Structure 1
């Protein structure tokens, strides 16, 4: 999609600014988050969350480990700073699946996220943490855009998503956010590895990319497509 044709979202990416942040994926996560959060058509105040996965050196072992930086509990992506991020060992988060007893024990899992903390200054992880953690992508946006919500909440929302996007956006029916929903997102991706995003029924949108910019542009394009349909 040509960015000059975007009418329902604001394209705010500044290549010069992004160049200054090059090599710092967390800084680029914050930059992307602030841009997305500045447009209330894209996400309501305090809603949604964004993440990135980076390789860091474990302070105890010196080994390289994958760490996910994600908006912590509370806060707003439009004003998000590093102090508002939670940082977790990805492998430890995945290991929680070994002790997961099923959806009826969902609430017990939230407290266990703290055992996955990497950064000692980390914000408390939110209930949406596993939704990002069980997807393999480097940069992920979870947003509540007006246009996407209108479709996600529609009686025939799944059919509309199919009409707009074909097989490029998966549909996962409404389920309370938490550990099990993270597993459902992973399953949707495994079913169709070529998807560019997932629509959550009556909830919101997940989109991703290999870079902060690719993720940002993917999010805008999907939201724009939803708005054009409406």
Structure 2
């Protein structure tokens, strides 16, 4: 997959401070106006809730160290409340689910933008929204993305790896006492594009006389993700 992930749908979640529960962001038209505004509602979409769990944004399922961090943030939020916004790759999650269901033993190579320059829209993994009208102009608000605007999302490759493992059936939680420790069913690696080209390309043949090499010197804001199945089989509970 080449530059597929950056165009997939994302969902926006919001929290008014560092410790309040995350809420879904809905877009609704203002009555009597052509304008739209954000409306915040409790989490109810299963894809959004699953993304929140995979990322570890849910305090209820946090580890001991994460709970200590949440406690510290709770104290800080009372003094300096800071709203939080995060864009969740729910389209990627749905795509990976479909791929794993149809091709459970697939080998996957994906490449995309790992970060985007000059993003002014707030939130983790926020998109770059731009339009062309003689020249390219970037928007500061995603509400401006009407009709002819391009929307690009950066790919969090560590999160992509977590989603891949989750869709393959791996869970960090040990559901049954006495069961074997869960094992991952995928072998994965994340490489900068230059490192990928050094390993799998032919950079010696693309070097120019002045030393410039487009395979190694360009595409600095892109990465490759490689994922192949392991020989691990589903674990079973030990017999007493």
TM-score bucket (shorter structure) = under 0.3
Q: Which has the higher helix share?
A: 1
> Which structure has the bigger radius of gyration?
2
Output the TM-score relative to the length of structure 2: 0.26
Output the TM-score relative to the length of structure 1: 0.27
